[in-house]
Amino acid sequence: MSPSKSLVWSKHLHWESYFRPRTLSEALGLLEKFKGSARVIAGGTDLLLRIREREMKPQALVDITRISGLERVSLEGDWIKIGGLVTHTQIVESPLIQEKALALKEGASCLGSPQIRNIGTLAGNLVSGQPGADTAIPLLALDAGVRVANQTGERTIPLAEFFIDTGRTAVDSSREIVTEILFPALKDGETSVSLRLARRKALALPILTLSIVLSADLLKKRFRFARIALGPVGPVPFRAKGAENLLSGATINEKIIKGAAEKAAQESNPRTSLLRGSETYRRTMVANLVERGIRMGIERLEGKNV
């Protein structure tokens, strides 16, 4: 009889110590004690895979799930704040996210399986540093920042500066903890859209992920601004700034929408991939999805004005 999957998994998971601190300061103290050989764990959906594949060999794991105050989604003034332990399921089910940041709900709902969404955290999805992460793209379009705590204090990293390379971010998870993700709540005349292109297969990785935040004055038929985030068409998630500039202050018409979509395709840097298709195909899909996303954003703004 072959061993069960659980035994196979346990055979390949190695660490010496496992801690469950109740305060942030205690958790940071443990990380400091192990001097880079410990890792933070919350949902663990990415970390355990990396340990199993021997990409990471921590001496200790610091489980932060008992630390109170990190599991909330709240609106404080004009800012939406998402704690470091908030799961994707919480995002999908949040009325606040539905009303003020719909693109984030749409992105989170596409991630993995229900089981993964139930335990995987938004912060963990960001720290994994994957260029097509389903929540990284909408958060980038929402102009989010990431608040990080370490032994010397706190800092807030703009998401536009957060991703360094594939699988690498500005957070050192052996010494730092993401405590909060924050971004401005969308206002009247603003909306957001997330779209995902993937193979017709359960839990398939995305070929392309797009999020747009769109602001427009429909009475004057003019865009105010747009933020267009894309992945994985480069080593990190990125904003199509050239396409955004074309839309800024422009009259809403067919020419400008198609022009912005083509500009976004030009700004992308996809490579030919057996998993995701050829460079030409992926550039074409960028243009198609950006055009579709802009049109959906306009439709959503029109629906709010009915």
Q: How far is residue 146's CA from residue 139's CA, in Å, rounded to a whole number? A: 10
Domain boundary residue among 123, 149, 183? 183
Domain boundary residue among 155, 183, 211? 183
Q: What residue numbers bound the domain in which 33 lies?
A: 12-63
Measure Cα distances from 250 to 116, 145, 177, 221, 224 in Å. 41, 28, 41, 9, 7
DSSP annotation of 221 reads: T
DSSP annotation of 121 reads: B
pLDDT at 1: 31
Q: How many helices (H) and strands (E) does the chain have?
A: 12, 14
Is 286 contained in some domain? yes
Query: What one-character-per-residue DSSP string does 167-213 give?
Result: TEES--TTT-EEEEEEEEPP-TTEEEEEEEEE-SSTTPPEEEEEEEE
Do residues 161 and 264 share a domain? no
Do residues 55 and 80 share a domain? no
* CATH number for position 98: 3.30.465.10
Do residues 53 and 143 share a domain? no
Strands (E), the chain: 17-19, 38-41, 60-63, 73-76, 79-83, 145-150, 153-158, 163-165, 168-169, 177-184, 190-198, 206-217, 222-231, 238-239
pLDDT at 4: 40
Residues facing residue 192 across a β-bridge: 213
pLDDT at 114: 83
User: First vs last Cα of the chain: how many Å apart?
Assistant: 64
The total number of structural domains in the chain stands at: 3
Do residues 92 and 153 share a domain? yes
Check whether the bond before 131 is cis (ω within 30° of 0): no
Is 255 contained in some domain? yes
Is 228 contained in some domain? yes
Q: How far is residue 285's CA from residue 146's CA, in Å, rounded to a whole number? A: 30
Q: How far is residue 71's CA from residue 86's CA, in Å, rounded to a whole number? A: 5
Is 6 contained in some domain? no
Is 58 contained in some domain? yes
Beginning with the edge strand found earlier in the chain, give each strand of the sheet holding 79-83 in spatial order. 73-76, 79-83, 177-184, 145-150, 153-158
Per this entry, what is the length of the chain? 306
Do residues 179 and 196 share a domain? no
pTM of the entire predicted model: 0.90
* CB-count exposure of residue 6 (10 Å: 0-12, 13-18, 19+): exposed
Do residues 153 and 206 share a domain? no
Do residues 59 and 139 share a domain? no
**Chain position carrying tokens 């489980």:** 63
Do residues 111 and 159 share a domain? yes
List the pLDDT tens digit at each of the 306 positions of the chain.
Answer: 334 444 444 556 777 889 999 999 999 999 999 998 999 999 888 878 778 877 778 899 999 999 999 999 999 999 999 999 999 999 999 999 999 999 999 999 988 788 889 999 999 999 989 888 899 999 999 999 999 999 999 999 999 999 999 889 999 989 999 999 999 999 999 999 999 987 655 556 778 999 999 999 999 999 999 999 999 988 899 999 999 999 999 999 999 999 999 999 999 988 777 666 788 988 999 999 999 999 999 999 998 754
Is 122 contained in some domain? yes
Do residues 17 and 84 share a domain? no
Q: How far is residue 279's CA from residue 218's CA, in Å, rounded to a whole number? A: 36
Is 269 contained in some domain? yes
Do residues 53 and 79 share a domain? no
| H/E stretch holding 238 | strand 238-239
Domain boundary residue among 132, 159, 183? 183
Do residues 84 and 101 share a domain? yes
Do residues 267 and 219 share a domain? yes
* CATH number for position 18: 3.30.43.10
Is 2 contained in some domain? no
